[in-house]
Amino acid sequence: MRFFTASFEKSASLQKGWHLVLCSSSFLFSLVFIYCAYRLFQTYDWGHPFTKFLCFSGLFALILTLFNHRTQSDDIGKTMLMTEAVFAMAVLALIFARMVPAYGDFIFAAPTVDIGYTTEHAAKLLFLQGENPYLSESINIRPELAPEHRGFHYGPGMILGYAASAYFPGIGYKLTSVAFLAITALALCSLVAGCLTSRSQIETNGWQVRSAVLASMVLLFLPERLWYEVFHVGANDIYPVALLLVGLVCVQKEKWLLAGVLMGLSFATKFSPAAFLLAMFLRKDIRLNFLIGCAIGASPLLIFLAWDHQSMIENVFILRFSLNFDSTSLYSITPDVLHVLFPLTQLCALIYFLVRNANRTLSIEETVVCFTLLLMIIEVTFKEIHANHLIWFYPLIAFIVAIYRHKLFPSR
C-alpha cells in the first residue's frame, strides 16, 4: 500500500513539476516569439509585404492558441509568480535603459512624418487662425493628390487631441504623445488587473496580478518601433488607441456612457481602428447609454460636416477608400485579377465576427481577442501596411499575452 501511495505522490509531483515547466516556458516562448516578430517589423519597414504578412500570421496564430487554451489551469504558485515578476522588472528596466537614451531627446523636436506635422499644422489653422484645415490645399501638398484631397486627412478629434501643438510648436506635439502613451500604459495595467481580480482566484491572486501587469508592460514597451514612431517621427496613432483602451476600462467598470464617449471620440479621430472595436459591441445586449455616448463622442464630425461637409467627406472618408495600394501591401505582389479577394476577405471577416457575437455577452478578454484578430485581418488585406499602424496592436497583444501567458502549451 505504501508503495502505491509513494508512487502516486511521485507521479503527482512529476505532473506538477511538468506543469510548472510548461507554464514558465509558455511565457518565455511567447516573449521571444513576439520579440522576433517585432524585430522583423523594425528591420523590414517599407515594402516587404510578405514578411509583414508572415509576422501578422504568426501573431494571429499565437493569440488564437492562447485564447483556445484559456480554460486550462495556470496555477504556478506564489514563488514562481514572484520570480516571474522580478524577471519582468529586470527586462523592463533593460528596455528603458536602452530606449530612453536613444529616443528621449526627440521629445523636444517637432514631428517629421506627415501624419505628425500635418496634425500640428491643422491645430494651428484651427485654433490660431480660425480656418478649416479640411479646406486648406497647402496642408498636405502631394503631387499624386487631387486638390480636393489636400486638406487634413484625419478626423477632427485628432486636432482636439493635439491642440497643445498649436500653442507650443514642436514640444507640444511630442509631449502630448508622451502623455497619451502614459495613459495607454495605465489603462492597460487597469485592464489586466481588472480581468484577473474579477475571476475566482486562489490565494496567490496578488502576485498573479502583479506579475501579469509587469508582463504587460514588458510587452507594451518591447517593440523599438513604438519608441521610434511616437518619440522620433511623431506618429499620432497612440492617441486614438489610448481613447479605446480607456473606453474598455470604462466598459469593464460598466460606465457605459463614458465608454461610448471615448470610443466615439476615437472614431472621430481616426476611422480605424475604432470602427472595428465598435463593431464588437453590435450585439443584442448593447446598452442605450453606450450608443448615446458614441453619438456624443463623434459630435466633432458633425460640427465640421456642418462647417464644410464636402471637404470633410473628401479628406476623411473618400480618400481612405480611394487610395491606391503601395509597396507595403499584398496588393503589390498579387496579380491584379486577385485583388478583389482582399476586400472580400475583410467583409467576410467582419460578418463572421458580427454573427458570432450577436447573441453573446462577451467578457473584456474575449472582446479584445475578437477585435485584435479582426483588426489583423483588416490590416494585412489593406492597401497599406505602414509602421505607424503597428501602434494599434502593441497594447492589444500585450494585454492578451499577459492574461494568457501561461496557456500556450496544452497542460494535458
Domain definitions of the chain by residue range:
11-404
Q: Are 259 and 75 in contact (CB under 8 A)?
A: no
Mean pLDDT of 201-213: 75
Sign of CA dihedral 268, 271, 277, 282: positive
pLDDT at 315: 85
Q: Is the pLDDT of residue 168 over 50?
A: yes
**Closest to 224 measured CA to CA, from 329, 94, 381:** 94
Least confident of 4-13, 311-320, 366-375: 4-13
Q: What's CA 376's distance to the chain center, in Å?
A: 10
pLDDT at 14: 53
Angle at 259 between CA 256 and CA 265, to 5 degrees: 140
What cell numbers appear for 259 in the block?
465608454
Confidence of residue 217 (pLDDT cuts 50, 70, 90): very high
What cell numbers appear for 330 in the block?
499584398
**Closest to 386 measured CA to CA, from 264, 243, 280, 270:** 270
Task: Give the position of cell 503527482.
Answer: 12
Q: Is the pLDDT of residue 200 over 70?
A: no
Percent with pLDDT over 90 in the chain: 65
Distances (CA, A) of 385 to 47, 267, 300, 378, 379: 9, 20, 28, 10, 6
Confidence of residue 202 (pLDDT cuts 50, 70, 90): very low
What cell numbers appear for 321 in the block?
477608400
Between the ranges 168-172, 188-192, 321-325, where is the mean pLDDT highest? 188-192
R_g of the chain computed on alpha carbons: 23
**Closest to 114 measured CA to CA, from 18, 233, 17, 19:** 233
Confidence of residue 141 (pLDDT cuts 50, 70, 90): low
CA distance 127 to 15: 65
Distances (CA, A) of 31 to 25, 80, 132, 365: 10, 17, 46, 19
The predicted-structure confidence for 48-91, as pLDDT tens digits, reads as follows 999 999 999 999 999 999 999 888 877 777 888 888 999 999 99
The predicted-structure confidence for 319-340, as pLDDT tens digits, reads as follows 777 778 889 999 999 999 999 9
Q: Are 121 and 184 in contact (CB under 8 A)?
A: no
Q: Are 330 and 342 in contact (CB under 8 A)?
A: yes
Confidence of residue 301 (pLDDT cuts 50, 70, 90): very high
Mean pLDDT of 167-186: 94
More confident residue, 198 or 270: 270
What cell numbers appear for 244 in the block?
479605446
**Closest to 27 measured CA to CA, from 96, 93, 97, 91:** 91
pLDDT at 3: 45
CA distance 332 to 284: 40
Q: Are 248 and 366 in contact (CB under 8 A)?
A: no
Threshold 0.85, pTM exceeds? yes
Sign of CA dihedral 203, 209, 214, 215: positive
Percent with pLDDT over 70 in the chain: 92
CA distance 358 to 282: 7
The contacts of residue 147 (CB under 8 Å, 6+ apart) are: 137
> Average per-residue pLDDT in the chain?
89
